[in-house]
Structure 1
Amino acid sequence: MTEETTGPLDSSPRRGRKLVAGLTAGAALVAGALFWASGGWDSWRHDRALDSACDGDLAAGPLRELVAGAEVTAEIRRGRADSWWQCKVSGVDDEEDGRIDLRVTVSRAGDRALDIGAARTDAPLGHGWTGGFAFDPDRDADDRGDATATLLLDCGGRRTDGVVAQLTARTDRLDLGRPEDRARLTAVLTGTATAYARRTGCAVVEGEPVKRVGVSVTAWDYQPVGTVSGSCAGILDAATAARWGVRTAVETAPGPKPVEGCVLGGLRGAPLYEFTAAYGAGLSWSEEERLEDRTDDRKGDVPDGGYVLWAACPEGTKRAAYAVTVADRTDGPSELALDHPALRAALQRFADRSAKAHGCDAPSTEPVDDLG
């Protein structure tokens, strides 16, 4: 006689494991369907695509932080004969996420046609990088996501041209008046540029993660000359400043950049003496020729006070030019009033300190051959 029982169809451990496995598989299918329906699959696929974008060089992690979930596309553009390489990131839906247009362009530092548009008013990147960040805090609200940044990379001291990288940003998702947004944007530049450099055979010397980036200065950002601590520090002593009528200065924070500068001015910031240092690609071809022409007449006092010094630099930069310009002002110093010996000494101090920060030789009046 067979005994009948009631309860589960099979209470054996084996059948129970099968049932649990079946339920788990079913739950996974349901979860997968929900993941797909909610757009999770597209998001995951998009996220994975960023990791390999632009030959795998795009700094995907910092970019994700920057766009905060917005969907973007990335594409590569190249110049003729691979003279430059660009990773372009664009927003997929400008109406929903706002405009997103980020471009990192990398070029060979020795390209004579290269014009990086760097300015002495750019804020230095600091943290062991040679680069500048241009953002005007006085811009209209609609333009506060617009900025440019430039980076010079040396290839470990080998005889090479080094690398120049530029980033341009036009996006509605950033307020670059906020230091953290400037740091995130800089991380996209440094991460992408160094990845490209390593992939193409440059033993790049990297800096540290950039935690804070300053803002550009303008002619209105003058301060008492006695309080300078950045790019103007140490150029003039108090007695010379008083004799020259210098009362104010416009300076950036200290730190190596493609173009550095200091403006010494009168009581209300009116410029009197402008000092500029330009390194490698920061020295445009036309400006280089102009300064070389000025250097040809370098013996004795130069009537307009426009003195020039030169320095040989590491391979990524090759050479630098340092110049002082006297403002052409009717209420400023006249040609006859110029203190030529002190002016040359001031330029020498400015150039010496800047050259040391870039690892260049001591500046002198002797032009440096262009090795490119």
Structure 2
Amino acid sequence: MSTETPKRSRRLGLAAALTVGAVLVAGGITWISGAWGEDGALDSACDGTLAAGPLRELVGGAEVTADIRHGRGERWWQCRVSEVDDEEDGGIDLRVTVSDAGERAAPVEADRTDAPLGHGWTGGFSYDPDRAARDRGDAVASVLLACVGKPGKGLVAEVRARTDRLDFGRPEDRARLTAVMTGTATAYARQQGCRVAEGEPVRRVGVSVTAWDHKPFGSVSGSCAGIVDAPTAARWGVRTAVETAADPKLQEGCVLGGLRGAPLYTFTASYGPALDESLRDRLDSLTDRAGDHPDGRYALWSRCDDGVRRAAYDVYASAEGRATSPLALDHPALRAALRRFAERSARAHGCEGPSTEEVDDLG
């Protein structure tokens, strides 16, 4: 992101009259500062796209201001909400960024450990419940919005929040932040002529999983379910798994582990913006390797009609905690497990069946 020179927002609060700030261009970023007053005037913020109702519920009675920013060449659009008096404890910094889902540099931070949004949305929420108390007001969520009737077109949105006023360990705060993101992003999409199929209101969203959240392999019911059968798991030494709910998001994953959760096999599905350049390059190289791969890493590809355009699925064997040599890997069963993982994920996203043939970059 380019270097920025902030324009000081006018003090406003929800009781001042509506004013429109000047436009400042610095480092290729345009800031349009808005100050608005009566409670209802908040609905006009960020060109009328800001999800004012969910925002009010999220920040309570805090006095806030909003800015619109554009990346160089209109590569991304951002609505930023800040607390007026950010010198006091409890300052609010909330940014909803929207960009073309096919953009190589789409600003989205997705991880296989994110909790899926569910409720008909393709997206995830990143919040680690084990973080320090001072960071409990920090969270990131993302969502993919496909343009109905426009194959290959879509937008991706991300919200980043940092505040001392909120605790995203609370389910209601996670749901409210998600509502700000989905409401603002879909309103912006409509302004851009992209009609999206909206999901249902997100009443509850989970938290990120970590290696400490492993469960017995026999109890899996989410992203790890159905990848390998019980005899294969026993032969591989799999006793535990780390998984999320099986709802679609930009990056999905499953980690099969040993008795105390030590990772043995990691499966990942990456869609559109989550398939960054470095990952594409690593997985591209796998297509040129014939036969069994000593490191146990394999990849499959899928073509998608919505904004993600293409997806990649990979598996690799971790050396951590392994008692056997990588040469003892069950390569045919590993490839079959990856295909089952990829097929289920692709169906959930409405993508074509996975193949070893790399899908061209359609961006």
Q: TM-score, normalised by structure 2?
A: 0.89
Per the TM alignment, residue 45 of structure 1 is displaced from its structure 2 partner at its CA by: 2.5
User: 1:25 matched to which residue of 2?
Assistant: none
Which structure 1 segments of 5+ residues have no match? 1-38
1:95, distance to aligned residue in structure 2 (A): 5.4
Which one of the candidate residues 295, 315, 334 is aligned to 1:343?
Answer: 334
Cα deviation, residue 41, structure 1: 4.5
Using a 3 Å threshold, how does the CA distance of structure 1 residues 332 and 252 change in structure 2: closer, same or farther?
A: farther
Q: Is the Cα contact below 8 Å between 1:115 and 1:284 reproduced in 2?
A: no
Residue 267 of structure 2 corresponds to which residue in structure 1? 275
Does 2:281 match 1:309? no
Check conservation: 2:264, 2:322, Cα contact below 8 A. no
Tell me: CA distance 1:333–1:347, structure 2 relative to 1, closer, same or farther (3 Å). farther
Tell me which residue corresponds to 2:116: 124
Residue type matched to 1:314 in 2? D
Unpaired segments of 5 or more residues in structure 2? 1-12, 18-35
Q: Report the CA distance between 1:93 and its aligned residue.
A: 2.2
- The CA deviation at 1:157 is 3.9
Query: Counterpart in 1 of 2:353?
Result: 362
| Bigger-Rg structure (1/2) | 1
The RMSD of aligned alpha carbons is 1.6
The aligned counterpart of 1:285 is: 277
Question: In proportion to residue count, which structure has more strand?
Answer: 2
Task: Name the amino acid aligned to 2:196.
Answer: V
Q: 2-side partners of 1:170 and 1:217: how far apart?
A: 20
State the one-letter code of the partner of 1:61. Answer: G
Name 1:21's counterpart in structure 2: none
CA positional deviation for 1:360: 0.5
- CA change 1:258–1:172 in 2 (3 A) is same
Q: Is the 8 A contact 1:154 1:314 kept in 2?
A: no
1:68 maps onto 2:57 in alignment? no
Which amino acid is the alignment partner of residue 296 of structure 1? D
Cα distance in 2 for residues equivalent to 1:40 and 1:51:
11
* Alpha-carbon displacement from aligned partner over 1:59-105 (angstroms, at most 9, x marks no partner): 00000000111110001010011110000000012456711110000
| Deviation for aligned residue 1:115 | 4.6
1:83 pairs with 2:75: yes
CA 1:60/1:296 → structure 2, altered by over 3 Å: closer, same or farther?
same
2:264–2:321 CA contact under 8 A, matched in 1: no
- The count of aligned residue pairs is 333
Contact 2:152–2:305 at 8 Å: present in 1 too? no
SS in 1 for 2:212: coil
CA contact (8 A) 2:124 2:141 kept: yes
Give the structure 2 partner of residue 331 of structure 1: 322
Distance 1:222 1:209 in 2: 29
Q: Is the 8 A contact 1:157 1:314 kept in 2?
A: no
Written as runs of structure 1 = structure 2, the 5 A alignment for 1:88-107 is: 88-94=80-86, 98-107=90-99
The whole-number CA distance in structure 1 between the counterparts of 2:271 and 2:204 is 23
SS class of match (1:52): helix
Other structure's SS at 2:181 match: helix
Instruction: Report the Cα distance in structure 2 between the residues aligned to 1:263 and 1:216, rounded to whole angstroms.
Output: 14
Q: Paired residue for 2:240, among 248, 252, 259?
A: 248
**Length-normalised TM-score, structure 1:** 0.86
Residue correspondence of structure 1 range 3-152 to structure 2 within 5 A: 41-42=15-16, 45-94=37-86, 98-152=90-144
- d(CA) in 2 for partners of 1:230, 1:159: 29
Paired residue secondary structure (2:296): coil
Q: Is the Cα–Cα contact under 8 Å of residues 14 and 63 in structure 2 kept in the other structure?
A: no
Distance in 1 of aligned mates of 2:339 and 2:324: 20
Does 2:155 match 1:156? no
User: Alignment partner of 1:329: what SS?
Assistant: coil
